[in-house]
Amino acid sequence: MGPANQVYSEQLPELETTADWFFNGDLSLDQPKSGPRTAIDAFFLAAAIPEPVRGTLRVIEAGAGNGAVSLALALRIAEIFCVGVELEARLVHLAQSNARKNKLHERVQFVQGDVTKSQTMNTHPLLVREGFDHAIANPPYYFSGSARQSEDEIKGRAYVHTLGDLDSWIRFLTTATSAKGSLTLIHLPENLNLLLEVLDGRFGDLALFPLYPHVGKTASRIIIQGIKGSRGGTTLHQGLVLHETNGQYTEEANKILRDCGSLKLR
């Protein structure tokens, strides 16, 4: 990551941002100075998306933020077209700017929309029912009442929502995904039972991929991938350890975070 530079955009006069670099400088992202900030979760989520067998992979992302996940995915896979949906208009403009800055704007586009509302699917020409091969999301990790919500409105929405909102996110992505299409999420392992509940009847043949902070520690994140309409069972992968004992990233983690590598869940 390069030095953080304070940036003021003419499009976003109220949003103070920093410029940061990822993947050894191959991806440049402007992001809100006070959050929500891009974390490594975004890049592990992008790494888990399978490459297309043929043709162009059409992907929809819910809660796109500054565009980090979709842009990282497009950097790794050339044969891809991503549509990111984001509620906050200022973040939509920021994501669009990031796409242009990285010369990915022809393959990655962002639209404003509330994924908790069923009518959002009909509000933009790019939002097509069952029009996507794959759906991705990094939903808020915490639920109202279980965590203190940030006073920053944008940051608060990014990290905290209601139990009903999570079901609405999955309903939206189910509607967007084609028959036999797939869905990939990253979340907290302690919310696994709830995630399995909202996925039940929508996505099956689930693959679970834990991320461990250190050897011998419990998982800090879990990636979940399923196939729409499948009744297949659940596979628990060995997962990946993020840090060595000295605190440095492991070789496997660096393949994702520095080299824009991929994770094989299937």
Buried b / exposed e over 160-182, threshold 16 CB at 10 Å, is: bbeeebbbbbbebbbbbbbeebb
Instruction: Tell me what pLDDT residue 1 has.
Output: 34
Question: Which is higher by pLDDT, 65 or 15?
Answer: 65
Tell me if 263 is assigned to some domain.
no
Q: Compute the distance between CA of residue 5 and CA of residue 14 in angstroms, rounded to an integer.
A: 16
pLDDT at 79 over 80: yes
pTM of this structure: 0.87
> What percent of the chain has pLDDT above 70?
86
CB of 16 closer than 8 Å to CB of 34: yes
Instruction: Tell me what pLDDT residue 238 has.
Output: 97
Tell me if 264 is assigned to some domain.
no
- Side-chain half-sphere of 190: how many Cα atoms within 13 Å? 6
- Residue 147 DSSP code: B
Model confidence band, residue 118 (pLDDT cutoffs 50, 70, 90): confident
Tell me if 44 is assigned to some domain.
yes
Average pLDDT, the chain: 89
Tell me if 253 is assigned to some domain.
yes
For 40-50, what is the mean pLDDT?
97
pLDDT tens-digit profile of 18-38?
Answer: 999 999 999 999 999 887 789
Can you give the residue range of the structural domain that contains 171?
5-33+40-257
Q: Is 245 exposed, middle or buried (0-12, 13-18, 19+ CB in 10 A)?
A: exposed
CB of 11 closer than 8 Å to CB of 97: yes
pLDDT tens-digit profile of 204-242?
Answer: 999 999 999 999 999 999 999 999 999 999 999 999 999
The number of domains in the chain is 1
pLDDT tens-digit profile of 138-196?
Answer: 998 876 545 454 455 544 444 455 556 899 999 999 999 999 999 999 999 999 999 99
User: What's the CATH number where 247 sits?
Assistant: 3.40.50.150
Instruction: Tell me what pLDDT residue 170 has.
Output: 95
Tell me if 148 is assigned to some domain.
yes
Tell me if 222 is assigned to some domain.
yes
Lowest mean pLDDT among 7-11, 58-62, 142-146, 231-235: 7-11
- Residue 188 DSSP code: -
Tell me if 20 is assigned to some domain.
yes
Q: Compute the distance between CA of residue 78 and CA of residue 20 in angstroms, rounded to an integer.
A: 23
> Can you state the angle between helices 68-76 and 89-101, rounded to 10 degrees?
20
Tell me if 265 is assigned to some domain.
no
Instruction: Tell me what pLDDT residue 143 has.
Output: 66
Q: Which residue has the tokens 């242009």?
A: 100
